[in-house]
Amino acid sequence: MASEVEETLKRIQTHKGVIGIIIVNSEGIPIKTTLDNSTTVQYAGLITQLADKARSTVRDIDPTNDLTFLRIRSKKHEIMVAPDKEYLLIVIQNPSG
Amino acid sequence: MADRRAELERKKQKLAMIREEKERRKREREAKESEDVPMRVTRPDKDLRTETEELLSSLGIPLGSEGSVTRSLNATPDTSLSPIPDQSLSSTQSGTGPVKSLRKQPKLSVVSVHQANIPPKESVTYNKQTQTASTTVDREAHPLDYYIIHWDEEWDDEFQVEEEGEGCSLPSKNLESPSIYPRHNTPHKVAGLPKVEMVRPASAAEGDTPMTPGHTEQQKEEKIKVDLSEEEKQQIMMSEEFHIFFGKASRIVERALYEDLDICVDYTGTGEEQEGDDKSGIRLLLNRCFTDDRWSKNRTITSFDWSAQFPELLVASYNNNEDVPHDPDGVCLIWNMKFKKTTPEHIFHCQSPVMAACFAKFHPNLILGGTYSGQIVLWDNRSNKRTPVQRSPLSASAHTHPVYCVQVVGTQNAHNLISISTDGKFCTWSLDMLSAPQDTMELTHQKQSRAVAVTSLSFPYGEFNNFVVGSEEGSVYTACRHGSKAGVMDMFEAHQGPVTGVDTHRAQGHIDFSHLFLTSSIDWTVKLWSLKDTKPLYSFEDNGDYVYDVSWSPIHPALFACVDGMGRLDVWNLTNDTELPTASLVVDGSPALNRVVWTPTGHQVVVGDDAGKIWIYDVGEQLASPKSNEWSVFMHTLQELQNNQVDQDLDVLTSLSSSIFSSPSTGIR
């Protein structure tokens, strides 16, 4: 089972433009990452905060609603965040290749 | 350590001795200088001298010569008069002085001088003024901004103390220096103590949230080392719920990744040409190819089916891969046509090659497969497993021959799974229970006692009872499930080789053509039939190899596609031309094409080959979309065909009859 996870991670990682993947748990502790330590910790902390804020925003507007996907497009990168109750999957991509 | 201490003491003593000697010499010199002066002063001091001598003698120090003693004593009258605590010092000084000059070296005893060096206690002080380390990035003086905490080794102690403060926002300084990790040396090295800036008190009322993220995050960083070891991380990654999460999240992310629409594209700079209009003229254009290196490589595609609920989901079943015997023999992949990702949505496998697969029409999560071993397997895409959640038993009550046809027929409330194997066994199953079929039936033709070896199955549109099957002998049969005459009804002497595909007409229009069906066979032909007639309406003989499958277009009444073993994909438009396919192409690499289906929209054709690749071709608009009069036109075409057929038959008969009379007849087809 773990090998499937590895397989999928490798596939995503080798996709055109993907810079890195980070999986964090709900506390923001990185569980798996393809980036270096310092960058991982930085992203983990910041993105967890942002995802939490986004989720609370969505739920404040409508309590029955919930956050399913978060995508941050910047000039240089695109950060995709797939949240869950327990974990967070963060993928950083350079969309222009 | 003891040696060192002893050494140190010895050294100290030596130093002390040297010091004493120096002072002695100095005093001697001074005494010599002032020799004349105090000569007269010595008289009143004589009492003192005697006193001191008495003192000295009392102390056990032998007296030196009078002269030097007086001299030294005179030189240092104060010292001799100094209070008692200093007595020892002065006495030793004065004592050793004269002793040395007059007598031989006295016996010097080693005096251990204990030196205690107590460092001053470090006081931890907090400066509550604004402080910034000089080497940090210059910020404008915002005295009441936020905490800037630089932490070194002692940061955690300090940090606990600071809890009453307001939130710690991660300052930009730390962002610029990529490491906010405590152990790393920050470029702005702060020696030891953290420096804290004044906090704006008002915003402290905001509550925990400004504080906790950064606060706890830093604690977490500390925790990272403490709490999540490698093993713990591995454990988490092995856990079930992690896999569930990861499955969902990775699918979404992969779809998002593959979407390479650049929404930020700028059109003003570039002069993009319009897409050529001749696109529509192109009849068949390769859109994409679905293949998975791990699971679909080198496996023949045995069937396709579309999901009723999500028309973009396609299930493809695969045969085994001879090159890799350890991989599971049967694979079923679900592909998503809507998104650009090139990996399957779901991967399922089982132990026996899957010959036919279909979506359970009324259950969006279930996928059924009929295997080579005769088992019916059921996969559920809600479960995390890739293996079937249910399997039918390998028993005589079920199938014992390869199951080539599975289909779910019925309505929402009353539906069954139908499976037919090559021994003619027709089983009806309930989807809840695959342990035994609900009903079995032997498909045997009345005239022959042999069972029909069914290779393909098709239900006419809207029919749940009557169906058409193709067999290995090359005949096509109609049969029905229920009723008094359950079983095979009619037989069509169709082909001279096994029938590879049967497809009943599907495009719905104002004229009903559902009695029409097509058959393809190993004998290089495709034949058009009507249920009403045992004779074929038409035979398409353009192919030069085994025709492996044929499929009607779901929207166009006169359009169908067929594939053959040379990699050729033909799209026929019967209103256009019945002799030659209207569009034809050879698939890249000329693999043998095993299966063909149309997408539910009718604008694309999906072809499966024997190397595990799924090719999706766009059919040009003009070709794929029916015009409003298409049905009536097709009706005419059919009439013509029938007329031609009749004429042909007549010709055959006449020629037969003529030949009978004229010459021995040769075999006329």
The DSSP secondary structure of B430-442, one letter per residue, reads BTTB-SS-SEEEE
Tell me the CA distances in angstroms from B149 to A29, A79, B177, B193, B475, one per residue in order.
21, 28, 14, 10, 85
Residues 6+ apart with CB under 8 A from B328: B349, B350, B351
pLDDT digits (tens, 9 = 90+) for B168-218: 444 444 444 444 444 444 444 444 555 555 655 554 444 444 444 444 455
Res B620: pLDDT: 85
The Cα of B376 is separated from the nearest Cα of chain A by a number of Å equal to 25
Q: Which of B216, B214, B136 is nearest to B176 (CA)?
A: B136
| Edge-to-edge strand list for the sheet holding B454-458 | B454-458, B466-471, B476-480, B487-492
Nearest CA in chain A to B222: A29
The Cα of B374 is separated from the nearest Cα of chain A by a number of Å equal to 29
Higher pLDDT, B644 or B274: B644
- To test the contact with chain B by mutation, choose from A8, A34, A53 the residue with the greatest count of B C-beta atoms within 10 A, namely A8
DSSP string of A62-89, one letter each residue: -TT-----EEEE-SS-EEEEEE-SSEEE
The Cα of A91 is separated from the nearest Cα of chain B by a number of Å equal to 8
**What is the residue type of B318?**
Y
B395/B145 Cα distance (integer angstroms): 78
Q: Which of B60, B57, B90, B87 is nearest to B73 (CA)?
A: B90
* pLDDT at residue B418 greater than cutoff 60: yes
* B217 within 8 A of B168, measured Cβ to Cβ: no
The end-to-end CA distance of chain A, in Å, is 31
Mean pLDDT score, B301-308:
91
Q: Which residue do the tokens 């569009």 mark?
A: B583
* pLDDT at residue B276 greater than cutoff 50: no
Chain centroid offset of residue B502 CA: 41
* B417 within 8 A of B429, measured Cβ to Cβ: yes
- CB proximity A76 to B under 8 Å: no
For β-strands B439-442 and B487-492, DSSP reports them as unpaired
- Which residues in chain B are closer than 8 Å to A9, comparing Cβ atoms? 250
* pLDDT at residue A64 greater than cutoff 60: yes
**Do the chains contact at B246 and A7, CB–CB below 8 Å?**
no
| Edge-to-edge strand list for the sheet holding B346-350 | B301-306, B313-318, B330-336, B346-350
**Do the chains contact at A45 and B179, CB–CB below 8 Å?**
no
The angle at the Cα of B648, spanning B643 to B649, to the nearest 5 degrees, equals 100
**Do the chains contact at A87 and B220, CB–CB below 8 Å?**
no
Res B45: pLDDT: 53
Res B27: pLDDT: 87
The Cα of A4 is separated from the nearest Cα of chain B by a number of Å equal to 9
Nearest CA in chain B to A92: B257
**Do the chains contact at B250 and A41, CB–CB below 8 Å?**
no
Higher pLDDT, B483 or B518: B518
* B442 within 8 A of B374, measured Cβ to Cβ: no
Quick one: CA dihedral B159, B163, B164, B170, positive or negative?
positive
- Which residues in chain B are closer than 8 Å to A54, comparing Cβ atoms? none
* pLDDT at residue B327 greater than cutoff 70: yes
User: Band of the pLDDT at B37, cuts 50, 70, 90?
Assistant: low
**Do the chains contact at B249 and A41, CB–CB below 8 Å?**
no
Q: Which of B458, B509, B502 is nearest to B635 (CA)?
A: B509
User: Band of the pLDDT at B48, cuts 50, 70, 90?
Assistant: confident
Res B284: pLDDT: 83
Res A28: pLDDT: 85
Mean pLDDT score, B118-137:
67
A92/A90 Cα distance (integer angstroms): 7
Lowest mean pLDDT among A63-72, B140-149, B531-540, B658-667: B140-149
**What is the residue type of B263?**
I
Q: Is B379 helix (H, G, I), strand (E, B) or coil?
A: strand
Q: Is B346 helix (H, G, I), strand (E, B) or coil?
A: strand
- Which residues in chain A are closer than 8 Å to B171, comparing Cβ atoms? none
Q: Which of B424, B489, B500, B507 is nearest to B456 (CA)?
A: B500
* B158 within 8 A of B193, measured Cβ to Cβ: yes
| Maximum distance among all Cα pairs of chain B, rounded to whole angstroms | 185
* B301 within 8 A of B316, measured Cβ to Cβ: yes
User: Band of the pLDDT at B257, cuts 50, 70, 90?
Assistant: confident
Q: Is the pTM of this model over 0.80?
A: no
**Do the chains contact at B224 and A89, CB–CB below 8 Å?**
no
Q: Is B26 helix (H, G, I), strand (E, B) or coil?
A: helix
A–B CB contacts, 8 A cutoff, strictly below: 103
Interface of A with B in 7-46 (CB under 8 A): 7-9, 11-12, 15, 18, 23, 25, 27-32, 37-39, 41-42, 45-46
A93/A72 Cα distance (integer angstroms): 10
* pLDDT at residue B220 greater than cutoff 90: no
**Do the chains contact at B237 and A5, CB–CB below 8 Å?**
yes
Res A79: pLDDT: 92
In our burial notation (b when 16+ CB lie closer than 10 A, e otherwise), range A75-96 reads eeebbbbbbbeebbbbbbbebe
Res B142: pLDDT: 52
Residue B284: its H or E element: strand B284-290
**Do the chains contact at A96 and B262, CB–CB below 8 Å?**
yes
B395/B336 Cα distance (integer angstroms): 35
Average pLDDT along chain B: 76
Q: What is the token pair recorded at B643?
A: 């007329």
B298: left (phi over 0), alpha (psi -120 to 50) or beta: left
Percent of chain B with pLDDT over 70: 72
pLDDT digits (tens, 9 = 90+) for B402-412: 999 899 988 88
**Do the chains contact at B228 and A31, CB–CB below 8 Å?**
yes
B47/B388 Cα distance (integer angstroms): 121
Mean pLDDT score, B297-303:
90
Residue B336: its H or E element: strand B330-336
Mean pLDDT score, B529-542:
86
